[in-house]
Structure 1
Amino acid sequence: MTVNLKFENKQIKKGLYIIPTPIGNLGDITYRAIEILKKSDFILCEDTRISRKLMERFGVKSKLLPNHKFNEKKNLPQIINHLRNDKIVSLISDAGTPGISDPGAILVRQCVKERIDIYPLPGPSAVSTAISISGFSEKYFFYGFFPSKLKEIKNDLKSLSQLDTSIVFFISSRKINKAIPFIKASFSERDILICREMTKFYEEYLRYKVDDLKTFDEDLKGELTIVISERKKVKKDSLLLSESDKNNIKGMINKLSIKEIVNVISQNSNVPKKKIYNFCLKIKNEV
């Protein structure tokens, strides 16, 4: 079924338009996006077969040009030439916002370099959609797709685990089981949200404690958006001295002052200094 929308016959500025497309439900596209797509001289897309379904749904007849990660560098001179000749060019991806883990960044950088006007449209994004329902910190770091090599996954996740924000990843469902052991090793005591088929009929949102996360027996299908929560805040008052710290204090009690012992122990412990001090006093009185 083709959806016909009527728009005012107003001028659209010449330049490059970055147009988000639905991440699943075609009804999520904006009126303005359809208007600009209809008035574009060219629409750059990843897969013409996927994009043609969207265009046919909304009666868009502009010329589609394939522009994906394998040919976007080769296409660059031709596209820039179109833009220099005052053509209206729209850039879309198969789903979501172009340039965010999708082709587009190379073209945008060249347009910036050549002072060609670029106009972004707001719209669908798997990142913001997942964050909005996570219940985690609104401050987040977007990583993009997991690396393909296990060593890179291990190193990157270890580094990212130091961030005290929500962290968003994209990953193929075929690779999720390989990544789970590294997620558990790096993000213990955090929460995780796994989003699949977002905005589609079979959409599903899986919530776990990272420590309880297990590999999946079933094929989840498609690309997954993963959100890991910020670090859990632990009240210092609830922290206790470890047996190792207690033994170290007992070994130092007749060699150092209590103040010196407190400084030594607090360097490698989150326990409040007052608790360390009180324990030192208790041991001192027992000696």
Structure 2
Amino acid sequence: MSDAGTPSISDPGTILINECVENEIKIFSIPGPSAVASAISMSGFSEKFFFYGFLPEKKKNLINEFQKLSALGSTIVFFISPRKINKVIPEIKINFSGRKIVFCREISKLYEEYIRKNVDDLELFSKDLKGEITVVISEKNEDENNSQKLNESDKSIILKMINNFSLKEITKFINQNRDVSKKEIYNYCLKIKNEN
């Protein structure tokens, strides 16, 4: 039913599958080439992933979808055509800062290519890329999962504790009561200790 790729994975194969189900026609899946599986396996990122498919056309919809996707802790995979890649790079940088990214092009073909970058170092492509692109964005790291930052109340408590408790004790106390990374708490305590 397909001359390339796996039917129903971001193509109209779903229509045919649903017709078969409706008409009680047996369906058999024969594993074949899948850009999603190939890209994940070559990325080196977490095998827990969310596959989006093709990105929306309108910028407003794209921004909304990226905001939702950026909240996910897992690896994220999507397809994009080469002529649209430079349009989405600014939004990728805004929404996925601190992560890594791999652009997979022409998977399993003669000009197969993998472009690996840190999202924060991304720049627009100066030359036109050819062939469909599978994009893989790495999972969030542990610090990114802790979205809260130290607030003024936390800092005030640290100032009161700094001379009577160890940095480890203060870090544990603040971390138990607030969803702030231990690394951030410890580094702030260390800074205060060094200033005194």
Q: Which has the larger radius of gyration?
A: 1
| 1:149-160 pair list within 5 angstroms | 149-160=58-69
Name the counterpart of 2:126.
Answer: 217
Conservation of the 8 A alpha-carbon contact between 1:173 and 1:220: yes
Q: What are the Cα deviations for residues 137-196 of structure 1, in whole angstroms up to 9, with x where unaligned?
A: 111111001110111111111111111111111001100001001111111111100011
> What letter corresponds to residue 267 of structure 1 in structure 2?
R
TM-score between both structures, scaled by the size of structure 2: 0.77
> What letter corresponds to residue 178 of structure 2 in structure 1?
Q
Aligned length: 178
> What letter corresponds to residue 146 of structure 1 in structure 2?
L
Name the counterpart of 2:53.
Answer: 144
Name the counterpart of 2:112.
Answer: 203
CA positional deviation for 1:233: 2.5
Question: Is 1:128 paired with 2:33?
Answer: no
> What letter corresponds to residue 100 of structure 1 in structure 2?
I
Structure having the larger proportion of residues in helix: 2
Conservation of the 8 A alpha-carbon contact between 1:245 and 1:265: no
TM-score between both structures, scaled by the size of structure 1: 0.54
| Alignment equivalent of 1:162, drawn from 50, 64, 71 | 71
Q: What are the Cα deviations for residues 43-69 of structure 1, in whole angstroms up to 9, with x where unaligned?
A: xxxxxxxxxxxxxxxxxxxxxxxxxxx
Of all paired residues, the percent bearing the same amino acid is 49
> What letter corresponds to residue 45 of structure 2 in structure 1?
F
5+ residue gaps, structure 2, are 162-169
Name the counterpart of 1:183.
Answer: 92
CA positional deviation for 1:103: 1.1
Question: Is 1:100 paired with 2:9?
Answer: yes
Structure 2 vs 1, CA of residues 235 and 264 (structure 1 numbering), >3 Å: closer, same or farther? closer
> What letter corresponds to residue 191 of structure 1 in structure 2?
K
Distance in 2, matches of 1:231 and 1:194, equals 18
Secondary structure at the aligned position of 1:219 is classed as coil
5+ residue gaps, structure 1, are 1-90, 254-258
Structure 2 vs 1, CA of residues 203 and 269 (structure 1 numbering), >3 Å: closer, same or farther? same
Structure 2 vs 1, CA of residues 235 and 161 (structure 1 numbering), >3 Å: closer, same or farther? closer
| 1:6-45 pair list within 5 angstroms | none
> What letter corresponds to residue 12 of structure 2 in structure 1?
P
Q: What are the Cα deviations for residues 77-121 of structure 1, in whole angstroms up to 9, with x where unaligned?
A: xxxxxxxxxxxxxx11x4200111111101211221222111111
Distance in 1, matches of 2:67 and 2:45, equals 20
> What letter corresponds to residue 180 of structure 2 in structure 1?
S
> What letter corresponds to residue 19 of structure 2 in structure 1?
Q
CA positional deviation for 1:226: 0.5
Structure 2 vs 1, CA of residues 147 and 249 (structure 1 numbering), >3 Å: closer, same or farther? same
Conservation of the 8 A alpha-carbon contact between 2:82 and 2:128: yes
Distance in 2, matches of 1:252 and 1:244, equals 13
Conservation of the 8 A alpha-carbon contact between 2:100 and 2:118: yes
